[in-house]
């Protein structure tokens, strides 16, 4: 049984990079019929915030990424918050110490700082030199007396390690050069990320770890730690990183690529997922637009590529537009209305808005373009070009239109056809010089959706009001 997990730390909002990791884990679990676990890695009590914790779950759910085990839903391997598992980490640490695989280390931060500076100056790798291993009893007593408190370090004994990465293939490390004994328990007794992640992955029987490439060089640590604690290490796959539009690496501070920002801009969750999946993964065919269920079937870890990619908002917008067009009129209206309400930008009668919304379906790429378009519902809109409706010909046309309004019987788009057919013989102007003034009188804008679609939605009463208003403008 495949068991994967997404283990974010609640220290910022989810952005395109994090959420892709979550998505790939989720998709992989779905594809393999496995379980997707959400685990909150809040070992850094200082920086972890409840606000981020809540936000991250909300964002995941909004995306359609649901976890089989984790906070709220529970599961057989809980608790799923690292902060509630401190005693477990303590227990594993004690065992490692008893077995001589870890030790209390009384080296101070100042000493380590000096050591690394020196190493750098001498062009040696700045790794911990394991000096804490060999302190005599007397030395330790002396340091304790000075008030120095110990950390617990895990002993690195292996000079080399080779892993088989699910995405990168064979990767070998020269541990002698890069890795010294590392801290698993801080002075204050709290676990470091390395300890927590290994104990949790081990205990939760995680089979595949799909994470960002920034963890690639942590992998030897994790494998060694896992093995020392008697766990069989999972298989690892490291996803290359995503860069922002300017080519800069993504950080937690980049609000412009946060899930919340996309939501605010009116991107459909499944369109976002579709776009993000395409960043680093390809189906191997020319298909680019995937419905949510389709994506779950098509995803394949073997087709994930190794190189970093750059986020492109234009393509995201395009993907979103494609998803909008795939929606039925009713679904489009439903989603759009929900968006307008959620973002608190619904300024007109809900029934009327609901009726007119489908008119824009083929026109927009994002929902945040809607409020501006909906301005045509405003009765006191300003005319984008007033001179268009002030000519004698225009006024004559409006008069004629008004006079035939009461005789119209049609419905839907046929209503407009009927209107046009009756209007044409009564006026001198035709073509553009008839329709532009009409559009201006009815919507206040030079451009917009087709009049035959707007006309029936406005209804004869509103059309009448607007023609009368144009006449007096």
Partner RNA sequence: GUCCCCAUCGUCUAGCCUGGUCAGGACAAGAGCCUUUCGAGCUCUCGGCAGGGGUUCAAAUCCCCUUGGGGACGCCA
Q: Determine, following the binding rule CB under 7 A, whether residue 336 of this chain makes contact with RNA.
A: no
Supply φ then ψ for residue 352, to 5 degrees. -65, -45
- Based on the shown chain and the rule CB under 7 A, indicate whether residue 218 belongs to the binding site for RNA: yes
Smaller CB separation from RNA, 171 or 345: 171
Closer to RNA by Cβ: residue 342 or 387: 387
Candidates 193, 292, 348, 381: give the one binding RNA (CB under 7 A).
193
- Are 19 and 276 within 8 A, CB to CB? yes
Candidate residues 94, 99, 303, 391; the one interacting with RNA per rule CB under 7 A: 303
Candidates 422, 410, 407; CA nearest to 455 is: 410
Residues in 116-145 at the binding interface with RNA, rule: CB under 7 A: 116, 120, 123-128
79 prior amide bond cis, ω within 30: yes
Contacts of RNA in 148-167 (CB under 7 A): 151
Vertex 137: Cα angle to 135 and 142 (nearest 5): 85
Which tokens is 406 given?
A: 């009461």
SS (H, E, C) 316-334: HHHHHHHHHHHCCHHHHHH
Whole-angstrom Cα distance, residue 389 to residue 419? 19
Q: What CA–CA distances, in Å, run from 86 to 91, 195, 201, 341, 421?
A: 9, 10, 15, 42, 79
CB 101 within 8 A of CB 215: no
Out of 90, 130, 158, 187, the only residue in the binding site for RNA (CB under 7 A) is: 187
Instruction: By CB under 7 A, name the one of 1, 33, 50, 109 that touches RNA.
Output: 109
**Nearest to RNA of 232, 432 (CB atom):** 432
Candidates 107-115, 199-207, 331-339, 396-404 — which segment interacts with RNA by CB under 7 A?
107-115
Q: Is 312 in the site for RNA (CB under 7 A)?
A: yes
CB neighbours of residue 292 within 10 Å: 15
Output the smallest distance, CB 127 to RNA, in A: 5
If binding is defined by CB under 7 A, does position 385 make contact with RNA?
Answer: no
Instruction: Determine whether 341 is an active site residue.
Output: no
Q: Active site residue: 155, 252, 334, 355, which one? A: 252
306 binds RNA (CB under 7 A): yes
Phi-psi region of 244 (alpha: psi -120 to 50; beta: other; left: phi over 0): beta
Which of 161, 451, 462, 473 forms a contact with RNA (CB under 7 A)? 451
Give the one residue of 4, 38, 216, 259 binding RNA; rule: CB under 7 A.
216
* For RNA, the closer CB: 63 or 184: 184
Closest CA to 5 of 80, 88, 84: 80
Cβ atoms 320, 267 nearer than 8 A? yes
Distance of closest approach, residue 198 Cβ to RNA, in angstroms: 12
Q: How many residues bind RNA (CB under 7 A)?
A: 87
Site for RNA in 245-284 (CB under 7 A): 249, 278-280, 282, 284
Q: Is 407 in the site for RNA (CB under 7 A)?
A: no
Cα-based distances in Å from 117 to 110, 123, 128, 184, 289: 11, 10, 11, 23, 52
Active-site annotation, residues: 252
């Amino acid at each position: 049984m495949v068991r994967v997990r997404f283990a974010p730390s609640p220290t910022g909002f989810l952005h395109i990079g994090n959420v892709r990791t979550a998505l790939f884990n989720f998709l992989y679990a779905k594809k393999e019929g496995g379980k997707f676990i959400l685990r909150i890695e809040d070992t850094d009590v200082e920086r972890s915030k409840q606000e981020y914790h809540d936000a991250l779950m909300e964002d995941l759910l909004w995306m359609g990424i649901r976890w089989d085990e984790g906070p709220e839903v529970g599961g057989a391997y809980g608790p799923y918050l690292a902060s509630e598992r401190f005693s477990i980490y303590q227990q594993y640490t004690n065992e490692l110490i008893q077995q001589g695989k870890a030790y209390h280390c009384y080296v101070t931060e100042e000493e380590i700082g000096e050591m690394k500076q020196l190493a750098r100056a001498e062009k040696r790798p700045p790794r911990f030199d394991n000096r804490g291993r060999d302190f005599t009893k007397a030395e330790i007593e002396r340091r304790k007396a000075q008030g120095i408190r110990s950390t617990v370090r895990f002993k690195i004994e292996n000079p080399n390690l080779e892993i088989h990465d699910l995405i990168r293939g064979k990767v070998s490390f020269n541990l002698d050069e890069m890795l010294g004994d590392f801290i698993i328990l801080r002075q204050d007794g709290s676990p470091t990320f390395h300890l927590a992640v290994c104990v949790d992955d081990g205990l939760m029987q995680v089979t595949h770890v799909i994470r960002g490439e920034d963890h690639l060089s942590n992998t030897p640590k994790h494998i060694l730690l896992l093995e020392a604690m008697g766990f069989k290490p999972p298989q690892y796959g490291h996803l290359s990183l995503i860069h922002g539009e300017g080519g800069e690496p993504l950080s937690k501070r980049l609000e412009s690529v946060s899930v919340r920002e996309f939501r605010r801009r009116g991107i459909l969750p499944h369109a976002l997922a579709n776009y993000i999946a395409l960043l680093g993964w390809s189906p191997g065919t020319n298909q680019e637009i995937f419905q949510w269920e389709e994506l779950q079937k098509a995803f394949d870890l073997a087709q994930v590529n190794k190189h970093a990619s750059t986020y492109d908002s234009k393509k995201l917008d395009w993907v979103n537009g494609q998803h909008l067009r795939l929606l039925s009129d009713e679904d489009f209206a439903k989603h759009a209305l929900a968006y307008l309400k959620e973002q608190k930008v619904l300024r007109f009668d809900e029934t009327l808005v609901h009726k007119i919304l489908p008119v824009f379906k083929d026109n927009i790429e994002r929902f945040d373009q809607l409020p501006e378009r909906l301005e045509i519902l405003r009765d006191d809109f300003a005319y984008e070009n007033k001179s268009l409706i002030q000519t004698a010909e225009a006024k004559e046309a409006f008069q004629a239109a008004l006079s035939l309004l009461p005789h119209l019987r049609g419905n839907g788009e046929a209503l407009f056809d009927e209107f046009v057919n009756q209007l044409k013989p009564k006026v001198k102007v035709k073509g553009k010089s008839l329709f532009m003034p009409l559009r201006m009188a009815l919507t206040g804008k030079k451009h917009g959706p087709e009049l035959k679609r707007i006309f029936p939605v406005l209804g004869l009463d509103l059309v009448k009001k607007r023609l009368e208003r144009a006449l007096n403008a």
